[in-house]
Each structure stands twice: as structure tokens, then as C-alpha cells.
A and B are shown apart, each in its own frame.
Chain A
Amino acid sequence: MARHPVTDRAAFLTRRQHRALRVVALAALVLVWEAIARAGWVPVLFLPSPVGVLAEAAEMLRSGELLVHLAASLSRLLLGFAIGAALGVVVGVAVGFFAVAEAVGTPVIAATFPIPKIALLPLLILWLGLGEPSKIAVIALGVFFPMAINTFTGVRQADPLLVRAAVAFGARRWSIIRKVVLPSSLPMIFAGLRLGAGTALLLLVAAEMIAVESGIGFLVLHAGNLMQTTKLMVGIVVLSLLGVASHWSLGRLERLAIPWRAA
């Protein structure tokens, strides 16, 4: 039999990184947008140019207008997110670990989870007034559900062998929750934080379109009403950056919090 060289038939499955392409693709999109805007095919009222948006953003930064809105939005976002996430973890652990809490919590969560949280905003305004609390509460509610459900799932997935090992070494309930159940739920908890971050941004903008005088959501709505399209676009870009920033910082936090995960 003749000799045939053996080649790596799986070579085409190797995925390459294409780092440069990532940057080029984004840059090309912006360039095409700029070109369309400059060509004058579309009125500035409908599509302001990227350069125009940047200039407007710089102007708003200098006048302090952008920072006022950003600060207002960030404080609502962070406060609502923190409250919702903390409550979600506590409820998730309780429902996942204690039989009584499960019996009480599961039907309540199943009944309230499907409600679009934005529909609760008018009710929250009735209860808490037009001020900050109703905005923060609607964001907290939106974050609470994915957090509670993910934490619950994480608690349930805790390895029974590890729980038994902990008991064999004298651990009681509280130790088991702190030293076994919580650390093993961390990956699910972080997945919940990511889901919650998306929901929080959505609810923030919606809440800021009702009876407020500051915030990125207000900026977008107000600029739209006045047909200041460039300003509106600045608001949208800021929202995009907020989303990217929260995703990135959660990723960093996750790597810090879960150092035992194989890379």
C-alpha cells in the first residue's frame, strides 16, 4: 500500500480570534453612518452625524448638563439594583434552602414574576409618590425576580456530596449556607446580576419618562419632544455605554469573586 500523509482533519474547527476585525467592523459602521449623514441624503433632524453627536456630547459635558442627568440616572440605577439584588439573593437562598420558605415563596413568585414590572409603576407612584422612591422601587422589583430565581436555582444545584461533607465535619445550617450553598451558587448569582442589569436599564429609562426633571430617560424624551435629535442621540449613546460598562464591570467582579473557576 502506498504511503499517505495523515493531516489534521479537525484543523478547520479551530476558531481564530480575529481581534482586528472586531475593531474594524465597529469603526466601519460609524464611518458609513458619518458618510450617509455628510452626503446630505438624510436631513439632520432624522439622522445627526456621529461627529455632530460627539460635539454635542462635549458641549453638554462642558455645561454640566450631561453630568446632572447621568448622576441622577446612576444613583437610581445603583440604588435600585443593589436593593433588588440583595433582596433577590436573600429570598432565593431562603426559598431554595428552607422547606417552609419554599412552600410560601414558590407560588407567590410564580404569580408575580410574569407581571411586566413597568405596569406596576403607576401603582408604585400611587403608593410612594412621584419622587425617587417609586423609580428606585420599580428598578429593584425588576432586578429582584431574576436574582431570586437564579439564586434559587443555584442553591438547588449545590452538590449534595459537598453538603454532606460539610455536615460530616460538623457544619450546621448557617455554616452550610455561608460556606457551601452561597459559594456554589455564585455562578448562577452572577448570571442573575447580568440579567438584572439589562432589566434595570430598561426600567430606568421607562421610569424616567414619567414626571421627572432629570435623568438620561428624561433627556431622551425631552430632546425628542423638542426635535433636538442630536441631543437625543447623545442620550442613546450614553445608555449604550452604561450597558457596556455594567456588563464589563460585572465580568471583572465575577472573576474576582470566583477565583477557583478554571479559566
Chain B
Amino acid sequence: MRVIVDGASKVYADRAGHSVRALEGVDLTVESEEFAAVLGPSGCGKSTLLNLIAGLLTPSAGAIWLDGELPAGRTATAMVFQEFALFPWRTAQANVEFGLEELGVPAAERARRARMFIELTGLAGFETRYPHQLSGGMRQRVGIARALAVEPAILLMDEPFSALDAQTRQLMQEELLAIWGRTRQTIVYVTHNIQEAVYMADRVIVLSRRPGHVLAEVKIELPRPREERMLGEPTFVASVERIWSLIREQAAEALRDGVA
């Protein structure tokens, strides 16, 4: 399934009556089975864009389209949240089953599919643990398994690894790429980390600072499967530098204005 964002804008009104323009005229298309990273400085409306695609917000102008046939019993989108957003009163297994419950999948089938994604995300043996009994990395695996379990055509990921330490993040990135190699969803991956975006994505969509609009789209020419050693390759370094030069000024301005 493709994601088409057609001139989407979003204006928030705060309590004092001031309006904040988060996004302005965003145009972008994410192709079927593409891994697209959305990158931008802090407060550029990346999360807003993802929430618009997920149907959790109404755009102030423009439209969002999901284009393609959705097989019966499948969900169009599922989301992995930066803050994990696991249900504390549900065990790991029950968290993974949540979306399947809402789809009306029978209990036995639910348990079977949840098991499958629990194993895929390396959570076997932790099914009966509550989120507070799991480490940050494991919590986010539950978040990813919960999203994968509904087998969405489009996987939306909102800075999924930014709350993790650097080592855990590197390992989780590799795992996600390995899983995606098998499941092949369309992925829209929001991050503020240039290296992460270049390492993982087919294409990096660079957003400007608030009000966010598309500054540039950078195709990443690294072959797949991606490997850690590629982090030193000239192609990788060149892409990172190119993107950094694009957003350097934006980030500096954001820092000066106290947005970051």
C-alpha cells in the first residue's frame, strides 16, 4: 500500500488562543514496500505527520490517501510509539494481542499469532511479564510485536528507538531491518537521527523546521541487506553529510528560538 500526503497542513490552537502551524503544505508519497525515513529537527511536526497518516488527527488543509488493495482481515496502518505506549495492566502477550482483539480475531488464533510475533521479536519467555517488569528495549519490542501482529500494510514508527541507549538502539535497528526483510511492509519511520535514517531507509524525506514542509528527498544508494560495516562507507558518509548540510541551518535556528 502507498501513502500519499497531498498538501497536508496542520494548525494547532493552544489554550491562550495562539495558533501553532505544525505542518504546511506537505506533499509526499511513500511507495509500497518502501522503507521511508522522515527526518527533521526537533519540533518540525514529524509526529504530527505520522498521526495524520495514522488517522489520529484531522488535517487543517489537504488530504491523506492510502492507495492500494487491502486484503480482507488486514489493517491499513499500525503504529509504534516513541514512549512505547504499552498497556501497563496487560502482560506482554496480552499487549501484543490487543490489536487482534479489536479486529475480532478468535482467542486461539490470537494467541497463535501473538506467539509468532513474540518469537520474531525475541520476547519468547517473557509473555507473562508486565511492562514494568521489562527493560526499555524489551518494552519497545513488545510495541513492535503489537504493531506487527495486526499485519498492517503500512507500519508507522515514531522515533521508536530514541528512548533506548546507544548499544540497544544499534541492535534493535538491525533486528527491525531483519524483520522487515521478511514481512516487507511499507514503513514510515520518523527520526531526528541522521545516521539512523540513512542506515535504515531506502529514502530519507527531510522536513524543514516548523511549520514543517518537505525540504528534500534523498535516495539512499546503499545495498540491502544493510550491515553495520556500511556505517563507514563513502556512500553512507556522503548521504549523512548531504542531509546534515540541508538541516544544519534549520536546526541552529530552532536552537536559537528555543524550540529544541
CB of A183 closer than 8 Å to a CB of B: yes
Task: State which size class the interface on B falls in.
Answer: 20 to 34
Decide if A107 is an interface residue (CB 8 Å cutoff): no
A156-193: CB near B (< 8 Å → 1, else 0) gives 00000110111111110001000110011010000000
- Distance of A262 Cα from B131 Cα, bound (Å): 10
Residues from chain A with Cβ under 8 Å of B85 in the complex: 161-162, 164-165
CB nearest neighbor in B for A163: B85
Proximity bits, B29-58, A CB within 8 Å = 1, else 0: 000000000000000000000010010100
Closest A residue, CB atoms, query B150: A169
Chain B residues near A183: list those with CB within 8 A. Answer: 87, 89
Interface residues as binary, B72-91 with A (CB distance below 8 Å gives 1, 0 otherwise): 00010111010101011110
**A17 to B112 alpha-carbon distance, docked (Å):** 47
Segment from B96-104, B119-127, B179-187, B196-204 that makes contact with A: B96-104
Q: Does A12 sit at the interface, judged by CB under 8 A? A: no
Interface string of B118-153 (1 = CB under 8 A from A): 000000000000111000000000000010001000
Are A171 and B102 interface neighbours, CB within 8 A?
Answer: yes
In the complex where A169-B150, A170-B75 touch, is A164 in contact with B56 (Cβ < 8 A)?
yes
**Contact between A168 and B87 (Cβ–Cβ < 8 Å)?**
no
The answer on a CB contact under 8 Å between B81 and A165 is yes
For residue A190, give the distance in angstroms from its CB to the closest CB of chain B: 13
Min distance, Cβ B77 to any Cβ of chain A, angstroms:
8
A170–B87 contact, CB under 8 A? no
Of B85, B90, B146, most A-chain CB atoms within 10 Å: B85
| Shortest distance between the CB of B66 and any CB in chain A (Å) | 14
B56 touches A168 (CB 8 A): yes
Q: How far is the CB of B84 from chain A (nearest CB, A)?
A: 9
Are B78 and A168 neighbours in the complex by a CB distance under 8 Å? yes
B51 surroundings in chain A (CB, below 8 A): 164
Nearest CB in chain B: distance from A261 CB, A = 8
Q: A164-B56, A260-B130 are in contact. Are A169 and B87 (CB under 8 A)?
A: no
- A169 to B94 alpha-carbon distance, docked (Å): 13
Write the nearest CB–CB distance from A225 to chain B, whole angstroms. Answer: 52
CB < 8 Å neighbour of B54 from A168, A171, A179: A168
Question: Shortest Cβ distance from B154 into chain A, in angstroms?
Answer: 12
CA distance A45 to B56 in the complex (A): 72
Q: Are B89 and A169 in contact (CB under 8 A)?
A: no
B residues in contact with A162, CB < 8 Å: 85, 87
The CA of A171 and the CA of B85, in the complex, are separated in Å by 14
- Determine which of A167, A175, A179, A258 lies in contact with B56 in the assembled complex, contact meaning CB atoms within 8 Å: A167
CB–CB A169/B99 < 8 A: yes
Nearest 10 pairs of A and B residues by beta carbon: A170-B102, A169-B99, A165-B85, A183-B89, A168-B79, A260-B130, A260-B89, A161-B85, A262-B132, A260-B88
Can you list 21 A-B contacts (CB < 8 A)? A161-B85, A165-B79, A165-B87, A166-B87, A166-B102, A168-B54, A169-B99, A169-B102, A169-B146, A169-B150, A170-B99, A179-B87, A179-B98, A183-B87, A183-B89, A184-B89, A258-B89, A260-B89, A260-B131, A260-B132, A262-B132
Residue positions of B touching A, CB distance < 8 A: 51, 54, 56, 75, 77-79, 81, 83, 85, 87-90, 98-99, 101-103, 130-132, 146, 150
Which residues of A are interface residues toward B (Cβ below 8 A)? 161-162, 164-171, 175, 179-180, 183-184, 186, 258-260, 262
